[in-house]
């Protein structure tokens, strides 16, 4: 019996590597996730976990941190496990989530030596993430030289933004050398846009504000199916507060910290990326669910500040599009927290947003009240599926994947 053709999707972070395997159902052209998992705790006490399509645990293997396992050995372990486990499948391609495509790369990229060099050259734009993405591509190329690989970018969906959205009010030379707004979460916005427009084709030319609210959060203004503005900019720090990231901050604060507190680069980086956001304001947790389950006044403040800033940013997206025809919530918080959706929507009543309490609590696809001027939707995101679709489309041009 011939094997199923499957696509491996990798999302390599600083201390984790998430993976999924999508199987092509040949006749229908569908892609189904048959396996998901991750290696966490890389550099310390590493752990390998894998689940099947029904989220049943298939593997859970831990290493102690007395002698941390090198990243490459962990990847080899995961690939070997996948190979042994998926006896009916042949992995024919690998798609990678890559954070930065810079100014030039606006579409998924087939990996070869020149492509790896191009991704490497973008490390200065995303020093905390890009090196891990590139390392995973290199390692896979070494382990499976015959495997076709494709890089899919968080920035690419935003390449359609007009110059006004992309440009900082800095001297022209800096803009010309790439100090400008890029935007992130693009694979999520692309997937959510496709899903929404498939269900509501009448919005194809509409102005849609999408709130991707997860551990990392941002918003995107999508007009006629294309990104025209977004809240993250040069780095994934800008925009709304996140789990541990600060969101938009007066640059004067950085000057103050450097001048008055003699804080150096690494200390500031740690403060802005890992000690701010929901964690910094609450002093309790970066996890929205945890904060919503406590009565602590600082936890409440963190939640309120988050909702206030997201609502403000929705209005900014509406201004960028000169109007708004739909509001969408997605990602961990956006998909799972009716209370947060309600608190944000309440602040947008003046814009014509009204959420129906029962639909919101029931997490229906459309959660707006019957008389809401703006329809409001909850659309689950699936960045991994978007990557698998892109990967197979790059390798098999002309073949559609539902």
Asked if residue 288 binds ligand AMP (CB under 6 A), the reply is yes
Stretch that binds ligand AMP, among 61-69, 144-152, 299-307, 333-341 (CB under 6 A): 333-341
Which token pair is 398?
């002309």
Stretch touching ligand AMP by CB under 6 A, among 51-59, 135-143, 266-274, 283-291:
283-291
Active site residues: 154
CA distance 111 to 208: 33
294 binds ligand AMP (CB under 6 A): no
- Sign of the alpha-carbon torsion through 379, 381, 386, 388: negative
DSSP type of residue 348: T
Return the number of the residue (161 or 218) whose C-beta is nearest ligand AMP: 218
- What residues contact 247, with CB distance under 8 A and at least 6 apart? 217, 237, 238, 239, 240, 241, 277, 309
- Position among 336, 352, 369, 393 found at the interface with ligand AMP (CB under 6 A): 336
Query: How far is it, in rounded angstroms, from Cα 83 to Cα 92?
Result: 12
Q: Which of 148, 292, 294, 396 binds ligand AMP (CB under 6 A)?
A: 292
Least distance between ligand AMP and beta carbon 127 (Å) = 21
Those residues whose C-beta lies under 8 Å from the C-beta of residue 35, and which sit 6 or more positions away, are 19, 20, 21, 50, 51, 52, 53, 58, 82, 85, 86
Question: Under the criterion CB under 6 A, does residue 331 sit at the interface with ligand AMP?
Answer: yes
Residue selected from 38, 40, 337, 360 as contacting ligand AMP according to rule CB under 6 A? 337
Nearer to ligand AMP, 110 or 289 (CB): 289
Q: Which residues, in sequence order, are CB contacts of 159 under 8 Å at separation 6+?
A: 101, 106, 227
User: Among residues 140 and 331, whose Cβ is nearest to ligand AMP?
Assistant: 331
- For residue 243, the minimal CB distance to ligand AMP (Å) is 6
The torsion defined by the Cα of 25, 152, 195 and 323, in degrees rounded to 10, comes to -170
Nearest approach, Cβ of residue 334 and ligand AMP (Å) = 8
Answer for the pair 392, 93: CB distance below 8 angstroms, yes or no.
yes
Shortest Cβ 277–ligand AMP spacing (Å): 10
Find the binder of ligand AMP among 333, 374, 378, 387 (CB under 6 A).
333
Q: Tell me how far, at minimum, the Cβ of 325 lies from ligand AMP, in Å.
A: 25
Interatomic CA distance for residues 237 and 248, integer angstroms: 7
- 3-class DSSP state of 323: coil
**Radius of gyration (Cα) for the chain, nearest Å?**
21
Question: 80-84, long-range: CB within 8 Å, 24+ apart, which pairs?
Answer: 81/48, 81/50, 82/8, 82/19, 82/21, 82/35, 82/50
Q: Is 192 in the site for ligand AMP (CB under 6 A)?
A: no
Residue (82 or 279) nearer to ligand AMP, CB: 279
By beta-carbon distance, which residue lies closest to ligand AMP?
332
Residues 196, 203 contacting (CB under 8 angstroms): yes
- Binding to ligand AMP in span 5-64, by CB under 6 A: none
- What is the smallest separation between the CB atom of 144 and ligand AMP, expressed in angstroms? 29
**215-234 binders of ligand AMP (CB under 6 A):** 215
Q: Is residue 214 near ligand AMP by the rule CB under 6 A? A: yes
Q: Name the β-bridge partners of 95.
A: 9, 150
Q: Which is nearer to ligand AMP, 206 or 241 (CB)?
A: 241
Choose which of 95, 243, 280, 375 interacts with ligand AMP (CB under 6 A).
243
Backbone angles phi, psi at 318, to 5 degrees: -65, -40
Cα–Cα nearest to 192, from 330, 327, 317, 320: 330
Least distance from C-beta 333 to ligand AMP, angstroms? 4
Pick between residue 269 and residue 287 the one whose CB is nearest to ligand AMP.
Answer: 287
Does residue 287 belong to the site contacting ligand AMP (CB under 6 A)?
yes
Q: Structure tokens of 214? A: 């997860």
Q: Which of 164, 196, 195 is nearest to 181 (CA)?
A: 164
Question: Is residue 160 a contact residue for ligand AMP (CB under 6 A)?
Answer: no
Q: How many CB atoms lie within 10 A of CB 319?
A: 12
Q: Return residues touching ligand AMP (CB under 6 A).
A: 214-215, 243, 287-289, 292, 331-333, 336-337
């Amino acid at each position: 019996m011939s094997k199923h053709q499957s696509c491996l999707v990798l999302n390599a972070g600083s201390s984790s590597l998430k993976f999924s395997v999508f199987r092509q159902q040949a006749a229908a052209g569908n892609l189904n996730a048959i396996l998901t998992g991750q290696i966490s705790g890389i550099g310390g006490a590493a752990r390998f976990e894998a689940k099947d399509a029904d989220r049943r645990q298939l593997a859970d293997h831990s290493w102690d941190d007395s002698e941390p396992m090198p990243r490459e050995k962990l990847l080899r372990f995961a690939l070997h496990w996948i190979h042994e486990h998926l006896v009916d499948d042949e992995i024919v391609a690998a798609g990678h989530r890559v954070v930065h495509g810079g100014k030039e790369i606006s579409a998924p990229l087939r990996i070869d030596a020149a492509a790896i060099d191009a991704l490497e050259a973008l490390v200065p734009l995303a020093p905390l993430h890009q090196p891990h993405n590139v390392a995973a591509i290199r390692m896979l190329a070494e382990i499976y030289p015959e495997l076709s690989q494709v890089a899919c970018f968080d920035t690419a969906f935003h390449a359609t933004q007009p110059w006004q959205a992309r440009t900082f009010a800095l001297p022209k030379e800096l803009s010309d050398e790439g100090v400008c707004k890029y935007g992130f979460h693009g694979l999520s916005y692309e997937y959510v846009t496709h899903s929404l427009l498939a269900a509501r084709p009448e919005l194809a030319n509409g102005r849609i504000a999408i709130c991707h609210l997860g551990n990392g959060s941002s918003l995107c203004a999508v007009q006629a199916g294309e990104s025209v503005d977004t809240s993250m900019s040069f780095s994934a720090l800008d925009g709304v507060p996140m789990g541990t990231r600060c969101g938009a901050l007066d640059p004067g604060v950085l000057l103050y910290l450097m001048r008055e507190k003699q804080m150096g680069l690494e200390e500031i980086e740690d403060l802005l990326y890992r000690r701010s956001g929901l964690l910094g304001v609450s002093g309790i947790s970066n996890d929205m669910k945890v904060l919503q389950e406590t009565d602590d006044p600082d936890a409440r403040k963190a939640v309120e500040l988050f909702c206030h800033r997201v609502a403000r940013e929705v209005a900014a997206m509406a201004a960028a599009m000169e109007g708004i025809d739909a509001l969408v919530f997605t990602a961990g918080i956006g998909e799972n927290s009716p209370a947060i959706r309600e608190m944000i929507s309440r602040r947008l009543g003046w814009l014509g947003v009204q959420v129906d309490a029962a639909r919101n609590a029931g997490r229906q696809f459309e959660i707006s009240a019957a008389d809401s001027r703006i329809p409001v939707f909850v659309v689950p995101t699936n960045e991994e599926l978007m990557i698998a679709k892109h990967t197979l489309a790059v390798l098999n041009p002309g073949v559609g994947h539902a």
